[in-house]
Every structure is written in structure tokens, then in C-alpha cells.
Structure 1
């Protein structure tokens, strides 16, 4: 969790607040990595993070979710019910201990709601979340009868009971109001389970606590759900963020004084490492790419703080820690990942060998084929010559572009691992490839190079430096990357983009009368259409572009707008390498 203005003293304060509330300075508290522009939001979340750590047994909650996934429950629904109830539990206990937190909560809620351009309350649980938030703010919103009954049942759960009793109450609400949604699972399993669902004996809840549950197919999904519940506020999922109307900005513009702005420009290398592109070349790229909606933007190409000149000790320590975390995750299942690399490499090599084989065609002229010479006078088939036709498909070069914005934080290690698998397999198969990450800070789009085309295979370890922070200006990132890709001499150029389909960036303004970047916000349909335009332009120039979508189903339409038919939706980021493998096989063979 970061304070958007980079006030390290304040960041330390909110971290200490989390530990104080939790009552444990030795343990690692899972907190949000979002950047908050409101101090009240940051302070309130810090208290909630500490409270979640203190009052909730997350291992027990995880085991409960695993058991319910195995029984055919709709995980999204039961997770939302858990989020609502556990959020209420933590809030009530914290406010009872520290009454002043209630005022901070009110201010935080106001700041967040004022920043939404749209409230998502089409689904019943989203509607209930919105109702509960408004109710906590002292308002009296109206709500339909069914939603009111569910809210009453949630409020009837005795939060002074132990966690198992609270889970029993959540289970009853699910069974009574949401059980029909379970039919999206296989019918046989559903029919068997619904018979027992109506009479669950929680005295035998320990039956669901065996460690073997961690190995089933739902485990990875449950990890993500737990992370979402334990590291986000209930209110954060209610709408689309739009800084417009907030006290900090207008029309998605962040206003800062000129002195602060100049410091940002001068310090970009301090935070991200020195650029590997010279000033003259950089200006050429910016003059080509930073136009239209990107007017006034800048791009920064870097190898990161660990492999380029950087004096920021704190940032170096942070990047080192993230790399160690990603590497550790890889080593936990290193045998599986190495098999995946070998399998992908052999598949690519086999296809490339097949496609590079010469095709022999018999004809009336060319090189004589001795075994057919007898036909010249004794047969009407005079094709006694042959020509060997070379493969004209040409060579391949591949760019992998990874969304490194804050929205990908929970997939961080998995993205790094899958990118490593693909890049290593491509390198071993002799296909030049480059791996880049993109995010944005203020009006800079940061393009971090993990691996370049001609790097040795040992340099692939740099991919584990991948970490997520900031916003994302997808269109500018794609446009800038394509400039380098087009300079390659290979005939077949491929760009693979992994993102959540939600371009979102802020503008910088010196004052409210004049902004540096023009008047176009980069979010919603503006961001989507710009990104779609850059994808089409890249394809027109001969680059094959594939989008790999890892976001929520609600954003699928936006992804279709951006990538057309050439995108793949995967709920499991660990299938990223499999998805890309299938795409590459299709491209090479066709």
C-alpha cells in the first residue's frame, strides 16, 4: 500500500498502524498494493489490514472455501458473502476498540465513492455491498425485498461467535438464497450434493481440514479469492474508478505544483533505473508515439534498478525482495516447470523442422530425375524433371509484453514464471524473443526490459524481477514496443500482450487551468479505443498481435474491442504458456 505522493514518512506510519492494530510486529501483514491519493483511505485500510490479521483465521477460511468448491458451490458468490460478513466483523471490532476510526471510515468511503464514474450494482451481491456501504455512511438507501431479506440475514449473524459459527451462518444464507447458482458445475455432482447441502453438520467441519485439499484443482482459485478478500476493501469492487470530482483531481487529472512536477521528471531514473536508450533516439520515439491522446506523455526504457545505474537503495531492496519471492515460487515446482519448458521447446522445434522441409515437385523442366527418364519415350507422363521448393515462410521473432500495473499484483509470481517458461523454450528453439513489462508513473510510461532478442539464455533469470505497481497506458506501450519490433529483419513478427483489458492512466497538470497532457482522460472507452487503434496499426504493418486476457468476465467486451478475434481468455494465469504454445503452433502451421 503506497501513498501516491511518495511520502515515505507517511508510508511508514500506515505500516506501523497496521502492526499496532494487529498487535504483532513480527509477522508479515497482507495489505493492499494500491496507490491511494487520500490519506483517509490509506489510514483506514491500514487499520483494516491489521484487524483482518488479528481477528480472522485465514487458514480456516481457506479450508472452508476449498471444501465448498469441492461440493460445487459458486466460488464467486460464497467469496462475496465471506467478504461482506468478515468486513463487517473487522469493522465492528476495530471501531469498538478505537471509536475514532469511524470518522476515518466515513471520510475514506466518501473519497472512494466520489472517484467512481460508474457503480456496478447489476448483480444482487454488488447491490447489497453498495447498500451496506451507504448505510455505514449514515444514509438511508432503498433496496428491493429480496436484497433486504439477505441483508437482514447477514446482520443476524452473531459476530461474537467463533469463526466456525460465523461460517455456518454464511453457509445457511448461501443455501437459502443462492443454491440454484451451483448448477453451473457438472450436473451429476450438483444433484448429489444438493441433497446434503440443506442439512450440513458443522460439528464435522474438521472433515474438510485435511491437507490433501490443498492439492486439488480448486486450490489456486481459492488462493486468489482469499487474497482478494484479505487485501481489499468492500467498497473497492463497486465501480469504475474515475478521479473526476475528487478533491485531489478533476477529469482524471492529478494536479501538482510545478516544483513537484520538475522533481518527478528529474527523479524518474532514481525510481526505475537509468534509460538504456540515448536522449536523441528517445526523442525520436516520443515524437512518433506521443501524439493524440498521448500528447505530452513520455516513455522511459530501462533494464530496472538491479541492472542499470540507480542510487535508490530502498527501490533496489524492494526489487531484490520481489525477485527472490518470484524465484522461490518457481523453485517450489521447478521439476514441473522444466518439463513444461522442454515440452514447449520440442513442440516448436518439431513444427519448425516440418515447415522448413523442402517440397519436391515434378515438372517438364528442371533437374532430371534418373529413375523417371525411361518415361520420356514410353509414357505420356513427360514429367521427368523435378524442382525442390524452399520454405518461403521465413524466420520468426517474438515480443512478449507484460502488464506490470498494480491490477496484476495478485498474479505477480505466476506471470513471471509463465513468461520465463515461454521465453526459455523460445530461446532453446532458436527463436529470437524479447520480454518487456509496462506500467506508468505520472505521465511516464515505463517499459522495463527483462530480456533482449540476442541475450544469452542465462539472462532469462531477469524475468523474475517482474513486479507490479502504478497504472497502465496500453496504447502507448504497444506503439512504443512495435517501433523496435518493426526494425527486426525477420519476416514473421509476433507480439503477445498479457493484460486485464483495463487501460487506465492519469494526466498531470500544473494547475486547473492548464494540463500538460491535453484534455483527454485515458480510461474506459477512450483507453480501449486507443489501444484497439494501436493493435490495428501494428497488424497493418505486418505484426501478428495476440491478446491474452487475465481480467474479469465483465471486461471481456472491452478485450474484444481491443484485440478482435485474436485474443484468448484464461481464468488460470498458470495456463499462459499453454495458451501461447497453441497460438504459436497455429501461426507457424498456417
Structure 2
């Protein structure tokens, strides 16, 4: 992963991070290695923080960290407890690398000794409260040379950990970890889920299909499994924090995740962070300010809009998010190629329906009038019946009077079905292009207080721009009401008489509220409040004469929210083969009835 700029560190933290990174890189010999500095441990004790960095480097140099991390992930997949597994693995890894590390770099011995002493000083009470903690205390004491001997039930595990000294065979380390976990933490694991061979037989395909978001602090940038694997690897060198401390911190993070407070200076820095990870905006500063002042009101006060064509179109630099976006395009393209015939058939069917509807609309039609061409057969009505109109007037409707906006929910909740969503949007866009109907396609997601509006194609772009939708990328949250309001703001300014808004979403508007320094606290955009706000924006659209169709991309249990948001005008497509049939019914109705 490219090293990211963190804008929320003071000078002390940045200096500490640089020191930790340089130490880790020096030990590993790999200056491209991704490093996660443990600043909390460094603040507790600089020796603990430095030894943690040294261990990260040594772990990468001496052991197969991918094999060890994969075992942890597979064990968690089968209901193992990650924090306890990590704690055991950390003790075993430390034992395996410490002698080789000190032989290569004798200066590490003094740092390790002080780190061990500081762990016992600062963490002793918490470690004595658990069986694993008492095992670790005994391991550290024996390393420091002042152990009085361990009790029999602890000594077995201490000797097993010590037996791993200078072991580089990942399998032996994994066997030790698995034995200690099954013996000390969950003695029913093998009976319920199988032995070590069963754990190791879990396939990457099974892991990829699992939803890892509950295990992640931030799923914004990466494939969840890959991100989780990287988190595991970075935590394997942590020698200070107990499983109980990690669980407490995770619980605190979850409890505080709905409201986050940042200073005004932080908010300004967030803009640069957004620019770095979503690409530069195609609007200048004044244009963005005017839009924000006009649109970000009511429930969306203190929110901001950010209009971009994506990180691939206009990057600040080639960072991890850029590479992640490239991978996602490859995934979307693969899905398109894999369903090429079905997609082509859907585009052809939907385009044909649209064209025929427009032809029917443009057929010569006449209506009775009080002026125009005389209809001889109606002359007898003069003075005899109430309806004495004897003229006929031709009515012609113009194709150019239609315009369509396609708005795609690009939040992290769409991650599993992202390629499917991209294909659905592509089918609609390609069909509209073939029917010569002006349309725009945009995706939306919310990061901090910015709702990102990513433009894939503009209203009058050529047909070749339709495939830009394959740059569809999912991340973070979704403030649907604000995104719909922003799309409506520009759609309503179009000259066409008949305007249609198609929204592809999973019916789950959900955003973290931001509190700015000196400003009123924003309400969390979740649950009933978020659904009601989104439904309100849909009603506003319709009151302005915009026809709205929801294309549901979520799970069946969320249909209730989708119905509340869109009313009867939404399509639930379970099978891509039937996509064009369902969508064409709605669009045909809109064209022929207006």
C-alpha cells in the first residue's frame, strides 16, 4: 500500500511515526514495506513502541507472514476469536524471531529488555487477570531472568512457546498457536468446527465471499478481505495490548462511531484528503461554495458536496486508492465480459423499446380544436350540439424533450454487488445512448462531511462514454437525500420538458454525522430519519415534474425501506436476464404518457 498522508497528527506524532517506520524498514531491508506505527504503545513506552517496529521488520524478514495471517483469518472465519488468536500468535512469533534478530542486530537486545520490563510494569495487573496473561508474564520473566518458576498448568504452554525459538517453519508456529487456543480459549472448537486441517482447508473463495466489515475500523479504501489480512499482519508484532484491552477499545470505537468531532482546521484538511482519494474536483472553489450554500441546508447543514470525475480521471498522485480503483475496474470489466451476451441482449431490448416508444410518440396525431383545418364531416354540428368544434389540429411531440439522470449509490454497503450495480447502470446508459436520449450518470457516497458526486458521463457525451461507468467504485457511507437534491438541482435546469431520475440504491441511507468546532451538532443520518429525508427529496422531485424510478440493488429484507422511499415506482431485479424487461416497462410508460 502506498504510504498515506495523515492530516491529524501533530509534530510529535509525525516524528514518532517516521522513527518507527525507518527502524522497521532498516530491520526488514524492505523500504517498500507497508507499516502501521503503534503510536499508543510508543506513548506508553518508547521502548515498547520501538520494539514493536523492530518486530514488524523482523516478522517480514524471517517468517512467512502471509501464511500466519491467513491461518488467523481462516480460524476467525470458522468462529475463532481474533484477539485471543492474535495474542497467542504474537507470543509465538516473538519467541521464533528474537534470537535471530538479536544476532543480526545486537543493539536490539537492550531495547527488547527494556520493552519487556515496561510491559510488566504497565500491564502487569491486566495480564494477571487472565490465564493467557499469566502465561505471558511467565514468558517475559524467564526472558528477563527473574522467574520463580511457573505452576504446572502454565508451564506446559510456556515451554511450548519457548520451543519455537529460531523456528522459521510457519506450520510449526501455526500448530502451536492452534493447540494453545483450543486448550486455553475454546476447548469445544474442534468438536464444532474441525481440527487444524479443517481450518487450513478453508478456501480463499470462501473467505472472499464473507462480509468482513464488522471486523474493520475503516472499510473505505480496500477490498474487505485484503484489508483485514493487512490488519492482521500489522497487529502480529503487538506485544503490549491484551485481548481484553483491544475488545474494550473496539467497543468504545463502535459506541462513538455515530458522532465524530473535528476542529475547523481539521475540516479544511479533510478537503485535501478527499481530493487525494477521490481525485480533483472539476468545479472551481467559487462554484463549489455557491452550490454548498444553496443545497446543503436543513438536515444537511454543515455537509459539503464534492464533484469529481474520479481518482483515475484526475489524480493528485498514484496512491493506494488509485491502485484500488484500477482493480475495481478490472473486476467490473471481468463481470461485464462474463455476462457479455446477456448484457448486449438487455441493451438491445431496452434500446428497441425506447426507440419504438419515441416513434409512436412522434406519429402524427390530431385533436379537435376551435382552429386549424376544417373537418367537413363535423359541419352539421354547428348550432345543433354543445361540442361544435369543426377544426382539427396536428400534435407532434419532440424526442429532444426527454432527459434522464442516473444516480448510483456508491457506498460501502454496495460492495458485494458492485459489479452487478455497475452493469445495471451501464445497460440503462447504453440503451439511452442508442435511443439518442440525453442523459447523465453519477455515483454518490459520503466521506466525513463530504458527499462525493462522481460523474461518469455528462448529458451530451458520445456513446463511447457509457463504459466510464465501469469505473464505479464503492466506499464509505451514503447521504441519499443530499445526493438526490444535488442531482435534482442541475436536472431541473435542463431545457427538456420531460425529466426522469433513475436511482440505483439498496434502500439503506446511512451516514456518520460530523460536528464542526463552534457549530451545532449534526444529527446522525441513519435509520428512520435518513429514510424519511430521502423519501421527502423524492417527493420534492416529483412535485417539480421529475419522474423518479428506484432500481433496488439491495437485499430483500430492506424492501420495506425502499417502498417507503420510492412508493410504487421502483424495480426489484433479482435476475440480470430480466433487467431490461422490468426497466423498459417503466420508461415506456413515461415516454408514451407524457
Report the CA distance between 1:428 and its aligned residue.
Answer: 1.1
Report the CA distance between 1:165 and its aligned residue.
Answer: 12
Residue of 48, 51, 56 corresponding to 2:73: 51
Asked whether 1:580 is paired with 2:583, we answer yes
2 CA distance for matches of 1:166 and 1:13?
28
Residue of 515, 534, 537 corresponding to 2:537: 534
The match for 1:560 is 563
The match for 2:437 is 431
Residue of 464, 477, 481 corresponding to 2:470: 464
The match for 2:177 is none
The match for 1:485 is 491
2 CA distance for matches of 1:356 and 1:231?
53
Report the CA distance between 1:100 and its aligned residue.
Answer: 8.4
2 CA distance for matches of 1:159 and 1:94?
18
Report the CA distance between 1:402 and its aligned residue.
Answer: 0.5
Residue of 389, 413, 418 corresponding to 2:419: 413
Report the CA distance between 1:457 and its aligned residue.
Answer: 1.0
Asked whether 1:284 is paired with 2:290, we answer yes
TM-score by length of 2: 0.60
Report the CA distance between 1:552 and its aligned residue.
Answer: 2.6
Report how many aligned residue pairs link the two structures.
431
- Is the CA contact 1:415–1:573 (under 8 Å) kept in the aligned structure 2? no
Report the CA distance between 1:367 and its aligned residue.
Answer: 2.9
Report the CA distance between 1:6 and its aligned residue.
Answer: 5.7
| Structure 2 unpaired stretches of 5+ | 8-16, 25-32, 38-55, 94-125, 128-181, 218-248
The match for 1:307 is 313
Larger radius of gyration: 2
The match for 2:458 is 452
Asked whether 1:494 is paired with 2:497, we answer no
Instruction: Flag the 1:153–1:325 CA change in 2: closer, same or farther, 3 A.
Output: closer
Query: Aligned to 2:334, what secondary structure does the other structure show?
Result: helix
Instruction: Flag the 1:328–1:359 CA change in 2: closer, same or farther, 3 A.
Output: same
The match for 2:120 is none
1:110-135 deviation line (CA, Å, top 9, x unaligned)? xxxxxxxxxxxxxxxxxxxxxxxxxx
1 CA distance for matches of 2:378 and 2:481?
62
TM-score by length of 1: 0.61
2 CA distance for matches of 1:557 and 1:22?
51
The match for 2:109 is none
Q: Which has the higher mean CA deviation after the structures are superposed, 361-370 or 309-318?
A: 361-370
2 CA distance for matches of 1:481 and 1:244?
37
| Structure 1 unpaired stretches of 5+ | 30-45, 56-82, 105-135, 140-151, 168-222, 237-242
- Is the CA contact 1:418–1:577 (under 8 Å) kept in the aligned structure 2? no
- Is the CA contact 1:438–1:446 (under 8 Å) kept in the aligned structure 2? yes
Instruction: Flag the 1:482–1:333 CA change in 2: closer, same or farther, 3 A.
Output: same
Instruction: Flag the 1:432–1:251 CA change in 2: closer, same or farther, 3 A.
Output: same
The match for 1:73 is none
Residue of 359, 362, 376 corresponding to 1:356: 362
Query: Aligned to 1:487, what secondary structure does the other structure show?
Result: coil
The match for 1:401 is 407
Q: Which has the higher mean CA deviation after the structures are superposed, 361-370 or 453-462?
A: 361-370
Q: What are the residue-to-residue correspondences of 1:184-583 with 2, within 5 Å?
A: 227-229=208-210, 231=212, 246-247=252-253, 250=256, 252-256=258-262, 259-308=265-314, 310-361=316-367, 366-367=372-373, 386-391=392-397, 395-509=401-515, 514=517, 516=519, 518-572=521-575, 576-583=579-586
Report the CA distance between 1:296 and its aligned residue.
Answer: 1.0
1 CA distance for matches of 2:568 and 2:2?
37
- Is the CA contact 1:248–1:255 (under 8 Å) kept in the aligned structure 2? no
- Is the CA contact 2:260–2:515 (under 8 Å) kept in the aligned structure 1? yes
Query: Aligned to 1:490, what secondary structure does the other structure show?
Result: coil
1 CA distance for matches of 2:551 and 2:259?
29
Query: Aligned to 1:520, what secondary structure does the other structure show?
Result: coil
Report the CA distance between 1:487 and its aligned residue.
Answer: 0.4
- Is the CA contact 1:367–1:386 (under 8 Å) kept in the aligned structure 2? yes
1 CA distance for matches of 2:494 and 2:560?
33
Report the CA distance between 1:587 and its aligned residue.
Answer: 2.0
Q: What are the residue-to-residue correspondences of 1:108-123 with 2, within 5 Å?
A: none
Report the CA distance between 1:448 and its aligned residue.
Answer: 0.3
2 CA distance for matches of 1:232 and 1:563?
28
Query: Aligned to 1:554, what secondary structure does the other structure show?
Result: helix
1 CA distance for matches of 2:512 and 2:579?
29
Q: Cα RMSD (Å) of the superposition?
A: 4.9
Query: Aligned to 1:246, what secondary structure does the other structure show?
Result: helix
2 CA distance for matches of 1:451 and 1:318?
21
Report the CA distance between 1:398 and its aligned residue.
Answer: 0.7
